[in-house]
Amino acid sequence: MTGPRLTPLAASLPAAVPFVGPEAQERTLGHPFAARLGANESVFGPSPRAIAAMQAAVAEIWMYGDPEAHDLRHALAAHHGCAPANIMIGEGIDGMLGYLVRLLVEQSDAVVTSDGAYPTFNYHVTGFGGVLHKVPYAGDHEDPAALMARAAEVDAKLVYLANPDNPMGSHHGGAAIAAALDSLPDGTLLVLDEAYIDLAPEGTAAPVSPDDPRVIRMRTFSKGYGMAGARVGYAIGAAPLIDAFNKVRNHFGMNRAALAGALAALEDQDWMAHVRREVTRARDEIARIARDNGLAPLPSATNFVTVDCGGDGALARRVLEGLVARGVFVRMPFVAPQNRCIRISCGTADQLALLAGALPDALRDARAATKS
């Protein structure tokens, strides 16, 4: 018997998981993490108004969500000073990236990103048969000039740039991103992932018109807005490209309560200001803990701090494993030289006290294992 016949492309794909969830690690460990500081979630949570809106909407969960997400789309347009036709809402940036890649990339199409940048984007490109071309980071920054040059060289359909960057936490000023567009090849679309923009310094958002057909920007309610588990992301871009999502998206894919929560979260910018203060405080504390242990925290424009462990990837991996074994969930970059670091999400004072307690022992063990 033949069985189901996967497409040649699907058959060739690994059953890849871009990230193993902390829950899977907890099941392996046999107990929950004491501090969940690995997925850049916002432990400070969403606005209480967003929580209230979601709890109220749960009572109406027997109804499908509005497939046009009309109210949230219009509110986002007002927030960004653009037209609703410039906004498309989807199942997190992950979901939006999947739809975007599907629209533009078929087998053998060239796509450019940085070596060590967001793996879920790569997952989608590979998943649709695209060919990834990677340029190195420049120090701990993504390198816009190198990205644009490579895009021209390989005639890329997409070039991916995260600003601020994950996993390094670095950023470019928005003006530099806008200037880089001068070198964007004709026919290449810049995917500007601004997941962490709400936590970045003033001026980090690129001054690019929503109608500029060369750029699509990705935003999310998962980071600053603290609603990672709700799955609400959106794209800002020129109307023809935004409308193209309607060709392929899961029109009824959005959770009804999540839509209501995102709307309430957007309307509570005081809460976002509160989150920014908490994130700043936590970044400073993580940096202090790192320095107290002789490690070098990198500057961060995000809700996490990437910490240079002062060795190679193997050392950083051991430090990470030591923290995980002590109940502190963190992650690390996947490739060299960024993988000399671990990546620690902003936490509460209590959680960071657990980090401060665990790090010296994790470091000591990691260094001992490295010497032996």
Q: Quick one: 70 or 277, whose CB is closer to a copy of itself? A: 70
CB of 361 to a copy of itself, least distance (A): 26
Listed residue (21, 48, 46, 47) closest to 36, CA to CA: 21
- Distance (Å, rounded) from C-alpha 358 to C-alpha 33? 12
Minimum CB separation from a copy of itself for residue 174, in Å?
A: 21
* Closest distance of CB 136 from a copy of itself, Å: 26
Give the shortest CB-251-to-a copy of itself separation in angstroms: 6
Instruction: Order across the sheet with 304-308: list the strands.
Output: 296-297, 304-308, 341-345
- Selection from 304, 327, 321 nearest residue 366 by Cα: 321
Least Cβ distance, residue 200 to a copy of itself (angstroms): 19
**CB of 47 vs a copy of itself, minimal distance in Å:** 11
Whichever of 256 and 340 has its CB closer to a copy of itself, that residue is: 256
Q: Which residues pair with 349 in a beta bridge?
A: none
When the beta carbons of 51 and 296 are compared against a copy of itself, the nearer one is 51
Q: Rank residues 204 and 222 by Cβ distance to a copy of itself and give the closer one.
A: 222
Q: How far is CA 275 from CA 115, 198, 223, 344, in A?
A: 31, 10, 10, 17
362 — phi, psi (to 5°)? -60, -40
CA dist 77 and 221 (Å) reads 15
Given the complex with a copy of itself, which of 99 and 137 has the nearer CB atom? Answer: 99
| Distance separating alpha carbons of residues 72 and 233, to the nearest angstrom | 11
Instruction: Decide whether 243 or 292 has the Cβ nearer to a copy of itself.
Output: 243
Region for 238 from its dihedrals, namely left if φ exceeds 0, alpha if ψ lies in -120 to 50, beta otherwise: beta
